[in-house]
Amino acid sequence: MLDLLQSASDGVLYGATYALIGIGFTMVFGVMHKVNMAYGAASVGGAYLGLMMLKLGAGLPAPLVFLGAFLAGGLLGWMVYLACFHFIPLSSPLATLMSTVGMLLLIDEVIVHTTDGMPQNYPALFDDVMLRFGEFTLRGDLLLVFLVSVACMAALLALLYRTRLGLATRAVSQQAIAAQLCGIRVAQVNVTTFVITGLLGGIAGAMIGAAVGTLSPLLTTPLTVKGLIVTVIGGLGSVPGAIVAGLLVGGFENVIQLYRGVTERDLYVMLLLFAFLVFRPGGLFAPAGERD
């Protein structure tokens, strides 16, 4: 029982990173009705770029590396927007989808080539700190990952619900044409969404690196798949949904790993997704949608 709780708790803490990735996917979907398949790769890419700063300025403290990842993520987000959504007409959904897939492959391969495919060590903070409550442990590094992620989510929610930009974003996601008619520059909202989700992705990538201790290009595929699963389970377009779903998936997979081992773990996550698709295709929180 204790093992179960411990696994679940560790999983939920780590799941905050999935929540961030899920938020990224779901926001782009909500605002533009498109999936940015390159998002997972860009997040890992941001983490790598943050790492490069560490290499360049040897001995940079970890928080600066995280900051570097944060900013690099935003930059990559902007680049993906340019490559995939700026020139291609949004009325060609297949073309935009395909181009994001192309970017996914491109970013992935760039990472592999610049690092020769070798995993890179990632700085962690508080990895030697353990908060103990009897038999139950909260790992310091995971707790940090969780808290940083939560802080970002809180900042995002504040942005969405307390600022004009957030209001514009929500308006565009509900009725893009009407929003335009009200004077909102939709293209600007789109770019901003990409940059903001990029920033979040960079932090997510950095946090994953911090939690796991290494970064490797092999991370991008499972991260992309899990991020998409979280998005679907949470409800396409719903930020709160992505948050809850991310924590849920994190906890779930860790518990499964305890009982079935790591090779079968991902298979069960797929099954979880299929269960949702069959029983609750709208996800946990279907967002306010338009009538048909």
Partner 1 sequence: MDFYFGLAQLIGVHTLLGLSAYVVLLTGQVSLAQAGFFAIGAYVAAMLTVLAGWHLVPALGAAALTGAATACAVGFPALRVKGLMLVIATLAFGEGVRLFFFNFDYQIAKGDIKVGPLGGEGFRQIRFFPENGWTTLEVMLFIWTFVLLVMALLWWLDRSRYGAVLRAVGEDELAAQSAGINLTAVKVSAMTLGGVIAALGGGLYAHYATHIEHLNFGILLATFAIAYPIVGGLASVFGTLAAVLFVQGFLVEGLRDLGDWRNLLFGALIVLAMNLRPRGFLDADNLRAIKRLFLGGGRGAS
Which positions lie near partner 1, rule CB under 8 A? 29, 33-35, 83-84, 87-89, 92, 94-99, 101-110, 113, 221, 224-225, 228-229, 231-232, 236, 263-264, 266-267, 270-271, 273-274, 277-278, 281
Residue 284 CB, nearest approach to partner 1 (Å): 14
Query: What does the alpha-carbon distance between residue 117 and residue 130 come to, in Å, rounded to a whole number?
Result: 32
Residue nearer to partner 1 on the CB measure, 171 or 232: 232
Residue nearer to partner 1 on the CB measure, 154 or 271: 271
Residue nearer to partner 1 on the CB measure, 96 or 192: 96
Query: What does the alpha-carbon distance between residue 254 and residue 246 come to, in Å, rounded to a whole number?
Result: 12
Residue 98 CB, nearest approach to partner 1 (Å): 5
Residue 214 CB, nearest approach to partner 1 (Å): 20
Residue nearer to partner 1 on the CB measure, 134 or 261: 261
Residue 124 CB, nearest approach to partner 1 (Å): 28
CB-hemisphere CA count at 13 Å for 159? 16
DSSP the chain: -HHHHHHHHHHHHHHHHHHHHHHHHHHHHHHHS---TTHHHHHHHHHHHHHHHHHHSTT--HHHHHHHHHHHHHHHHHHHHIIIIISS-TT-HHHHHHHHHHHHHHHHHHHHHHHTT--EE---SSTT-EEEETTEEEEHHHHHHHHHHHHHHHHHHHHHHHSHHHHHHHHHHH-HHHHHHTT--HHHHHHHHHHHHHHHHHHHHHHHHHHHSEE-GGGHHHHHHHHHHHHHHH-TT-HHHHHHHHHHHHHHHHHHHHHH-HHHHHHHHHHHHHHHHHH-TT-SS-------
Residue nearer to partner 1 on the CB measure, 88 or 150: 88
Residue 35 CB, nearest approach to partner 1 (Å): 5
Residue 199 CB, nearest approach to partner 1 (Å): 22
Residue nearer to partner 1 on the CB measure, 67 or 98: 98
Residue 191 CB, nearest approach to partner 1 (Å): 17
Query: What does the alpha-carbon distance between residue 236 and residue 38 come to, in Å, rounded to a whole number?
Result: 17
Residue nearer to partner 1 on the CB measure, 15 or 68: 15
Residue whose tokens read 């490069």 = 52
Residue 93 CB, nearest approach to partner 1 (Å): 8
C-alpha closest to that of 219 among 10, 39, 26: 39
Residue nearer to partner 1 on the CB measure, 106 or 165: 106
